[in-house]
Amino acid sequence: MSAEINKFSKDGHELGASKSGVVFLGKNNFYTREYLRIQFRRILSGEIESMDSTQAPMAAKRGQYLEPGLRIWTSDYLDELCALQGDQLCCNLTIPQEGFRNVKYKMAASLDGILEIKGGVLHYHDEHTGEMFDLEGFGVCEIKTQDQPGPPSYENLIQVQAQMFCSGFKWAIIGKLGPSLKMNWYVYKPEKIIVDKIVESVVDFWNRVDKDIPYDDDYDNETKKTFVDWSSHKRGNEIVDLITQFDDFDNKIKEQKLLKEQTREKIVRTLKSEGENHIIINNKKVSLDTIVRKAQPEKLVPAKPELQYEKFTVKEIKDE
């Protein structure tokens, strides 16, 4: 039995919702929009059949195997909330067998699941933001399995905005399995300003694909760099050792951040279970406070002067 794969978009001919974030933001952890543009042109010219989908094989497999159970969990979670608000209210889950498309902009969305609130309106309180949502009819179900604590990334937000744009659904929920196998849910509604920016970036992307106009991004444009092979250089071994140390330190920092967050969650759970917010133990004062930040009016960001600095990166070479 193999894991389910529900990618329905056709690279080179339409832009999937997950790639909209790359085009909108310029890059993600795996590639830049210039790399994406070049790959789409290679597909359209017949040079390659599809993009390489193995840049993060373990992450992809993790999602494929965990996704079915997590989307059922998400549906059941909403169904439990429905039961608390009325006997006629319920949530159904459908697994898509095809993608949703916006032909005009050559966009496509492969949804992890389709949720449907039946029998009325589910009044949903987002415990993370305090915002209230009225959910009814069909909605997008998107599943994420990520090591990073906190809410989904801005790229994830762009993805579900593109999914709602292609499907026409008026709400989306991201079920995120994070550190310590903690499951959280985040609800979104269409944001016209964001959707307009997505469409603008997608139109520009296709224009660059059709007319072979490169992006002039300053960052990570490997095609403009000339790399000198130091494999046989007299100081090659020295650099290899230093790069190995650099990568090890980076991994240890990430591990320590995760352990710190897990420990914090354990302390908070203990205080809550004992009904205490402020304790003294040995020479430490421990407080669990609820901070309410007052709403701030929208502000225009003032212009900033040009800044020049050095950027050092170490990247693994991947086959293209």
Q: Using one digit for the tens of pLDDT, what is the confidence trace for 153-204? A: 999 999 999 999 999 999 999 999 998 899 999 999 999 999 999 999 999 9
* Contacts of 17 by beta carbon, 8 Å cutoff, 6+ apart: 9, 107, 108, 109, 110, 159, 160, 162, 163, 166
Domain count along the chain: 2
- Rounded Cα gap, residues 178 and 252, in angstroms: 19
Whether residues 35 and 172 share a domain: the answer is: yes
Residues 205 and 267 in one domain: no
The pLDDT value given to residue 118: 96
Contact 63, 145 (CB under 8 A): yes
Residue 184 in any domain: the answer is yes
Query: In 10 A of CB 37, how many CB atoms?
Result: 20
Residue 31 has φ and ψ, to the nearest 5°, of: -160, 170
Residue 292: inside a domain? no
pLDDT at position 316 is: 63
In terms of Cβ atoms closer than 10 Å to its own Cβ (0-12, 13-18, 19+), residue 298 is exposed
Same domain, yes or no: 173 and 207: yes
Using alpha carbons, list the distances in angstroms from residue 14 to 18, 89, 106, 250. Answer: 12, 37, 5, 37
pLDDT for the residue numbered 258: 75
Domain hosting 274: range is 229-287
Domain membership of residue 309 (yes or no) is no
Q: Is 66 found in the same domain as 203?
A: yes
Residues 123 and 175 grouped into a single domain: yes
Q: Are residues 121 and 160 in the same domain?
A: yes
State if pTM tops 0.85: no
Residues 142 and 239 in one domain: no
Are residues 129 and 31 part of one domain? Answer: yes
- pLDDT, residue 34, reads 93
The CATH number of the domain holding residue 101 is: 3.90.320.10
Task: Say whether both 42 and 75 belong to one domain.
Answer: yes
Assigned domain for 293 exists: no
Pair 131, 197 in one domain: yes
For residue range 254-292, list pLDDT tens digits in order.
778 778 878 888 888 888 888 888 888 888 888 888 776
Structure tokens that stand for 249 in this block: 């330190």
**Quick check: is 139 in a domain?**
yes
Single residue among 185, 211, 237 that ends a domain in this structure: 211
3-class SS at 213? Answer: coil
Chain CA centroid to CA 126, Å: 19
Q: Low-confidence residues of the chain, pLDDT below 70?
A: 1-6, 53-57, 217-225, 292-320
168 within a domain of the structure (yes/no): yes
Tell me if 219 is assigned to some domain: no
What is the structure's pLDDT at 318?
54
Are 141 and 189 within one domain? yes
pLDDT of residue 195: 95
Q: Same domain for 67 and 180?
A: yes
In a domain, 175, yes or no: yes
Residue type (1 letter), 54:
T
